[in-house]
Amino acid sequence: MTALPQTTKTKLGLVIDLDTCVGCHACVISCKGWNTQNYGAPLSDQDPYGADPSGTFLNRVHSYEVQPEVGSAQTYHFPKSCLHCEDAPCVTVCPTGASYKREDDGIVLVNEDACIGCGLCAWACPYGARELDQTAGIMKKCTLCVDRIYNENLPEEDREPACVRTCPAGARHFGDLGDEDSDVSKLVAERGGFDLMPEQGTKPTNKYLPPRPKTDQEQIDILAPLLEPIAAEPTGFLKWLDGALERL
């Protein structure tokens, strides 16, 4: 009997390079901006200019200082959003079926009309990637910008998540991780990409590329091109960011 050819499922996701992320938060700002304008109800903020501001973000960047055995302390930046897990526990526990995983591309989404804001999905997610929008009363999460990546009205170069399109360091990559010949799969193979908390058994689609120890001079060389606009003009970075957001 001739074996039938195996079909590979499409698994769209992100590959995030911890070696080149500089923690500039451009991905956070572009994600907030794009999704506030295009993703259902706006991502709300509470007292944004007050003493105790809070708000809903679908992507956050955490920074950590690590002291190696040799050399000076190094700071690493860790972007975090929904990892679009193959075995997503948020989908399993949702009592209304609002959280679901798409068969055609593997993206995990929330049907906001069916969400009751119970928070079970946030409790089940081991990565803390779900956020309750306090104003809307429903759960929000990264959608991989489904309203961008399939939008034929956008130029082809813009059909990728807002965070990827905006990253000035090229630390974020988007593609089909179900295709071993895709650019993102090759990048994972070449750089030893890894799953976040694999012991949880969720099989996250998103992968991280490990940071590599750097000398002080190497860190300066990486940051220098990004700092040039600020050095030349204090508002240079803000102007660059405004332009990047307009391109979205």
In the chain, what are the domains? 12-247 (3.30.70.20)
% of the chain exceeding 90 in pLDDT: 73
Tens-place pLDDT, residues 81-123 = 999 999 999 999 999 999 999 999 999 999 999 999 999 999 9
N residues, the chain = 248
If one counts every other C-beta atom within 10 angstroms of the C-beta of residue 217, the result is: 8
pTM of the complete model: 0.82
Helix, coil or strand: residue 10: coil
Query: Average pLDDT, whole number, for the chain?
Result: 87
Closest CA to 82 of 145, 149, 33, 37: 145
174 burial level (CB within 10 Å; 0-12, 13-18, 19+): buried
